[in-house]
Amino acid sequence: MIHLTRLNRLPIVLNADLIESIEVTPDTVIALTTGQKMVVLEKADEVVRKVVEFRRAIYAAAAPPVSRSAADGQELERNGGDDSRA
């Protein structure tokens, strides 16, 4: 979900998964997969930035934590098994 502002200055929280396209006409018009269109105060670049931040947060929360030993093992693989750092 991303926080945006309608033209009448009322805040709205939009499900970013419903965004189909964003037009600049000069207002920012967001077309949704539901067929609705929404005009917001934010510039298109700002909407895109908010969607990217939202998706990064989702993927970061879903990614399994990397253990220290797993990270060390990956480093060994990149170095061809030679751990000359020690």
Phi-psi region of 42 (alpha: psi -120 to 50; beta: other; left: phi over 0): beta
Q: Which residues contact 10 (CB under 8 A, 6 or more apart)?
A: none
Q: What pLDDT score does 62 carry?
A: 82
User: What are the tens digits of pLDDT across the range 5-51?
Assistant: 999 999 999 999 999 999 999 999 999 999 999 999 999 999 999 99
Q: Among residues 62, 38, 76, which one has the least CA distance to residue 16?
A: 38
Tell me yes or no: is domain 2-62 CATH 3.40.50: no
Which comes out higher in pLDDT, residue 75 or 18? 18
Query: Residue with structure tokens 């200055």?
Result: 9
Domain residue spans of the chain: 2-62
Q: Find out whether 84 and 76 touch, Cβ atoms under 8 Å.
A: no
Give this prediction's pTM: 0.69
